[in-house]
Amino acid sequence: MKPFIYQRATSLQDAVAMLAARPDARVIAGGTNLLDLMKLQIEVPQHLVDLNNLGLDTIENIPGGGLRLGAMVRNTDLASNETVRRQYGVLTRAIVSGASGQIRNRATTAGNLMQRTRCPYFYGTAMACNKREPGSGCDARNGISANLAILGTSDACIATHPSDMAIAMRALDAEVRVLGAEGEYSIPIADFHRLPGDTPHIDTGLRSGEIITAVELPAPLGGTHVYRKVRERASYAFATVSVALVAQVDGANVAIERLAFGGLAAKPWRVEAAERRGSGTPEEIARDAAAIVLEGARPTERNRYKIDLAQRTLHAALIDAQEHSR
């Protein structure tokens, strides 16, 4: 770990000023990902601005029936919040499927969105990685790519975004509240994470000097909420495929209200055209929706199975929705 200057911001304005003064500064929240990356010198910030004393850790109702989730709300607190559990169940289920209890106690709403890929070639500093070192190439595409992206990839990068929380937020149409030099504004979660294109080193739409202050959820959708995460072990692993689903269940038939996939792309993968196409059996609906969502998939030989697995996972999630609503 390279030596760095560490400062605690005393107010949001203070934090923004610190970041403006030091273009190479990074914000630190829970530190569950950034510190690991600093030890490996994948991230080498000269300055860290700590937001842990700023509050930003409350969950509040907002006009119109939505919910404002403070940037520094710990994942454990977010998942266990009564309103979130009752009215945004897919979000609770997504969060508790990620990481471990210890990490969730520390990790924050904003930090979870900002975490970086777990592509092993991003971590393996001897390997070529355009995300870590722009222009160096991508050793993942022809490497051990079994758990990497099949959608929205580019020749430059096939990394996935590891967050579970963000997948549920995408299904819920969340907005990321950002404070910059010109004040606070919203970035729709759909636009927050970026596809790699030829600039895979830029993960998000957050600009230099900006700070996430909150995530806002629109009014509750109702419906049956499911987060179905499939991976090679039962816990403490990133998704191979995950499904965030809000469904309407009517006896043997189900309909998709909202649907986003994790584990398939550099951002939560949602194709609105696959939603609200009527009801049918889980198998019919899964086949229909998966065909739309997975169109244009560009797998490697090692991760081609994800196409089949994505449809199977959606099918399983729709059955789970039926069982939950019984």
Q: Which residues of the shown chain bind other proteins in the complex (CB under 8 A)?
A: 1-3, 39-41, 118, 120-121, 123-124, 126-127, 139, 142-144, 146, 230, 232-237, 240, 286-287, 290, 305, 308-309, 311-313, 315-316, 319, 323
Q: Specify the residue, 185 or 236, whose C-beta has the smaller distance to other proteins.
A: 236
271-292 in b/e form (b: 16+ CB < 10 A) is: beebbeeebbebeebbebbbee
Nearer to other proteins, 1 or 181 (CB): 1
Beta carbon nearer to other proteins, 15 or 96: 96
Q: How far is the CB of 60 from other proteins (least distance, A)?
A: 33
CA pair distance 187, 321, nearest whole angstrom: 30
Distance CA 81, CA 101 (A): 15
Find the shortest distance in angstroms from Cβ 133 to other proteins: 13
Per-residue tokens: 24 = 């190479």
Give residues with Cβ within 8 angstroms of 227, minimum separation 6: 90, 93, 94, 97, 164, 167, 168, 242, 243, 244, 245
Closest distance to other proteins from the beta carbon of 253 (Å) = 18
Q: Which is nearer to other proteins, 144 or 292 (CB)?
A: 144
Residues in Cβ contact with 254 at an 8 Å cutoff, skipping those fewer than 6 apart: 247, 248, 279, 280, 281, 282, 285, 318, 321, 322
51/150 with CB nearer other proteins: 150
CB of 259 to other proteins, least distance (A): 16
CA dist 86 and 254 (Å) reads: 21
- Token code pair at residue 296: 């244009």
Smallest gap from residue 145 Cβ to other proteins (A): 10
Residue given tokens 């930003």 in the structure block:
56
8 versus 118: smaller Cβ distance to other proteins: 118
Least Å from the CB of residue 28 to other proteins: 17
